[in-house]
């Protein structure tokens, strides 16, 4: 039986299966699904928990023996079998045997990595599917991610405008663990008392984008506005505060890639089409519009090459000071001549 992640809670309220399997590589949903099954097992009276890891040295012939052992402390047990590779090393014969002779006082919980499409056609997986509840966790994106964020926020008693939800989605870039942290931060900053609390986009912007991240966008937009003096002042401030060049470089590169794509779209379509292809915080739309209208893709492609050199400097593959290189990159974004003081 296939069970969707968002259906697992309701499933456990209505029935209990002898075997469950949680598989996938999205850590937050994976962890929460496993935790939910553990809590449900305790609720149903399976108070003793045994954990095994099915690595290369695991004896699959012992699976049946493990399940048939008498418990020293409880009449019902949760046997947790961790399967890192997503498939058993013995090609599943032991699991098939287990599914054909299910013990009455044991719930088997298989905690697995990602299960490939070919594996789902195997005999052991089909045997599991007949008796087990199988939960596959996937990375989510796009509108599905926004809906997931909206539901998590509402669970915390928070209501956000669509722009604010998109702001969080852009911030976490599909990382649900990061999303969970941001939602927790909002719930602490804006505690709910009696009814649903509605937050403005500005409140979310201030809370979600910490000072370093906000300053990065301020820095980039100053460069786009050709206010190089202020951009360099912000850069020096970030350096003095010990901010990571890796994070700074990553965020600047993301903005440059966006502008490269937008100007490329402009070559074949119009400004409106280019703007629609990306979500932009409302306050940035006018600046981005002017920038896209006045530059060509080659300009931004050249900047991406400069950022690649900067990345090699950070990693020690090229000589030079990454912070000096970033000053030159900002000058090129501002389309202004600039010379380092020590040159």
The answer as to whether 343 is a domain residue is no
Check residue 132 and report its DSSP letter. E
CATH of the domain at 275: 1.20.272.10
Q: Are 108 and 79 in contact (CB under 8 A)?
A: yes
Same domain, 243 and 179: no
CATH number, domain at 108?
Answer: 3.40.50.300
Mean pLDDT of 84-100: 80
341 in a domain, yes or no? no
CA 68 to chain centre: 40
pLDDT at 72: 58
**pLDDT band with cut points at 50, 70 and 90 for residue 342:** very low
Last residue of a domain, one of 88, 122, 137: 137
pLDDT of residue 343: 42
Residue of 10, 206, 16 lying closest to 106 (CA atoms): 16
pLDDT at site 191:
81
The answer to whether position 247 is within a domain reads yes
**99 or 339: whose pLDDT is higher?**
99
Query: Residue 263: which domain range?
Result: 212-333
pLDDT the model gives residue 215 = 66
Residues in the chain: 343
Give the whole-angstrom CA distance, residue 114 versus residue 145: 20
Q: Which of 267, 266, 321 is nearest to 289 (CA)?
A: 266
* 123 plus 156 within the same structural domain: no
Q: What is the pLDDT of residue 87?
A: 74
Helix (H) or strand (E) holding 131: helix 123-131
Last residue of a domain, one of 176, 208, 240: 208
**Segment 144-167 mean pLDDT:** 89
Burial 179-214 (b: 16+ CB within 10 A, else e): beebbeebbeebeeeeeebebebebbbebbbeebee
Task: State the Cα–Cα distance between residues 86 and 285, nearest whole angstrom.
Answer: 45
Give a yes or no: residue 163 inside a domain: yes
Q: pLDDT class for 214, splitting at 50, 70, 90?
A: low
342 domain-assigned = no
| Number of structural domains found in the chain | 3
Task: Kindly report, residue by residue over 233-276, the tens digit of the pLDDT.
Answer: 889 888 887 777 887 888 899 889 989 998 988 887 888 877 77
Residues 124, 148: one domain? no
What confidence score (pLDDT) does residue 332 get? 93
* 328, 217: one domain: yes
What is the distance between the alpha carbons of residues 286 and 271, in angstroms, rounded to a whole number? 12
- Among the candidates 208, 236, 260, a domain finishes at 208
Please tell me whether residues 107 and 63 are part of one structural domain: yes
**147 pLDDT band (50/70/90 cuts)?**
very high
Are residues 25 and 130 located together in one domain of the fold? Answer: yes
Between CA 305 and CA 201 the distance in angstroms is: 34
Residue among 73, 80, 71 at smallest CA distance from 108: 80
């Amino acid at each position: 039986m296939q069970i969707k992640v968002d259906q697992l809670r309701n499933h456990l309220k209505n029935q209990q299966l002898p075997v469950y399997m949680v598989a996938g590589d999205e850590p937050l949903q994976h962890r929460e699904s496993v935790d939910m099954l553990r809590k449900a097992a305790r609720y149903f009276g399976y108070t003793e928990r045994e954990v095994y890891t099915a690595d290369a040295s695991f004896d699959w012939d012992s699976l049946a023996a493990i399940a048939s052992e008498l418990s020293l402390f409880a009449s019902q047990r949760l046997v947790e079998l961790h399967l890192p590779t997503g498939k058993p090393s013995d090609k599943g014969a032991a699991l098939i045997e287990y599914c054909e002779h299910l013990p009455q006082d044991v719930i088997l919980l298989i905690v697995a990595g990602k299960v490939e499409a070919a594996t789902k056609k195997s005999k052991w997986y089909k045997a599991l599917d007949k008796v087990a509840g199988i939960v596959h966790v996937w990375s989510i994106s796009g509108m599905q991610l926004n809906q997931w964020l909206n539901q998590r926020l509402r669970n915390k008693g928070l209501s956000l405008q669509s722009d604010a939800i998109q702001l969080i989605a852009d911030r976490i870039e599909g990382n649900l663990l990061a999303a969970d942290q941001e939602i927790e931060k909002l719930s602490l900053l804006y505690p709910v008392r009696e009814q649903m609390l509605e937050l403005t986009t500005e409140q979310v912007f201030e809370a979600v984008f910490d000072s370093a991240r906000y300053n990065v966008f301020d820095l980039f937009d100053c460069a786009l506005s050709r206010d190089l003096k202020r951009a360099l002042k912000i850069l020096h401030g970030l350096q003095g505060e010990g901010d990571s060049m890796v994070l700074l470089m990553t965020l600047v590169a993301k903005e440059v890639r966006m502008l490269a794509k937008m100007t490329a779209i402009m070559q074949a379509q119009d400004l409106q089409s280019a703007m629609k292809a990306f979500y932009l915080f409302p306050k940035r739309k006018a600046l981005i519009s002017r920038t896209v209208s006045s530059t060509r893709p080659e300009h931004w492609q050249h900047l991406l090459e400069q950022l690649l050199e900067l990345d090699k400097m950070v990693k020690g593959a090229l000589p030079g000071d990454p912070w000096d290189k970033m000053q030159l990159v900002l000058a090129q974004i501002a389309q202004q001549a600039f010379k380092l003081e020590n040159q």
